Homo-oligomer: A and B are copies of this chain.
Amino acid sequence: MPLDQTFPFDDRGLAYGDGLFETVLVRDGKAQLWDEHLARLKRGSKTLGLAMPSADVLADLPKRCGSGLKVLKLIVTRGSGGQGYRLPAVASSRLRWQVQPFTPRADRWLGVRVRHCELRLGVQPRLAGIKHLNRLENVLARSEWQDAEIAEGLLCDSEGRLTEATAMNLVWRRRGRWETPALQHCGVAGTLRQALFTSLPLIEVETGARVLGEVDALCLINSVQGVWPVLQLDTAWGAMQHHWEPNAHHLALQRLAHSLLGYPQPDASGFPANGG
């Protein structure tokens, strides 16, 4: 039976971004950080008041991804119905998914250059943390640069709090501690970030971007790409603002995170050289 991957005109995910998504790394039919993905999906469903797809249906998806390294993307919308913005009387949802072969950017495990974005994220505590379908801010932020040498862009919210990168979370080492921006006001709480809370003493902080002048190591992380050490940070206008040498903190975080994702470990001499 051919898989229906289309969405009808009246789907609320399309009309209003009224839904959620997850992008899951799957290795040989086994989803990485699957518990964290399901937990975030559940939290998002509760936040939006939409029906969580059945556990059985979800559990079956990674098994259908085949062998090798894949990315499973699943979209859960509120389905059709309701009247304008008003919700349907009965909670509903529509699940669609797609699998694609995946190769991580192993070159970026060695270190990346990033920049500040000009765009400021709107503050919306009601939607903070969940991976909903309203992502125009991320799209606009990512459109601020074309230079392939720039791997990511850092985002502050409208009140100046450093929050995330366009598609990754931030973790840094400062004064002997691992810290990550609190995501109470906006931003997406990534599943690798979530998993690190149980493996590290990782502290949530509220701070402006000025903090980056004080950090010993800054990393970008997500559950499909792993850990990118930041070696250079530019302003939004292209001037170099900070520079870091690769160091033991980058390696330590990468070692830990890559073990959670099944990615290669950096050895004592430095970073992993290939995508394994």
Task: Give residues in A with beta carbon < 8 Å to B.
Answer: 5-18, 21, 48-49, 75, 77, 84-87, 96, 98, 119-124, 126-127, 132-143, 158, 166-167, 186
Instruction: Please give the count of copies of this chain that the complex contains.
Output: 2
Q: Which of B16, B21, B85, B124 contacts A133 (CB 8 A)?
A: B16
Picked from B6, B15, B87, B137, the residue with its CB within 8 Å of the CB of A9 is: B6
* Alpha-carbon separation in the docked complex, A98 to B10 (Å): 9
Output the nearest chain B residue to A100 by Cβ-Cβ distance: B10
A15-B135, A48-B139, A85-B139 known; 12 other A-B pairs, CB under 8 Å?
Answer: A7-B8, A7-B9, A13-B14, A16-B136, A17-B17, A84-B142, A122-B122, A123-B123, A126-B140, A132-B136, A133-B136, A158-B158
Min C-beta distance of A56 to chain B, whole Å:
22
Contact A14 B133 (CB under 8 A): yes
For A158, what are the chain B residues with a Cβ–Cβ distance below 8 Å? 122-124, 158
Taking a contact as CB atoms closer than 8 A, the residue among B6, B9, B135 that contacts A17 in the complex is B135
CA distance in complex: A8, B85 (Å) = 23
A77: B residues at CB distance < 8 A: 14
Assembly CA distance A98 to B80 (angstroms): 14
Q: Which residues from chain B contact A136 at a C-beta distance below 8 Å? A: 16-18, 48, 127, 132-134
CA distance A84 to B86 in the complex (A): 30
A104 to chain B, nearest CB (A): 13
Q: Quick check: A85 and B49 within 8 Å, CB to CB?
A: no
Q: Which residues of chain B are within 8 angstroms of A75 by Cβ–Cβ distance? A: 9, 14-15
* Set of chain B residues within 8 Å of A124, measured between Cβ atoms: 120-122, 137, 158
Interface centre among A15, A77, A138, A166 (most CB of B within 10 A): A15
Chain B residues contacting A16 (CB-CB under 8 Å) are 17, 133-136, 138-139
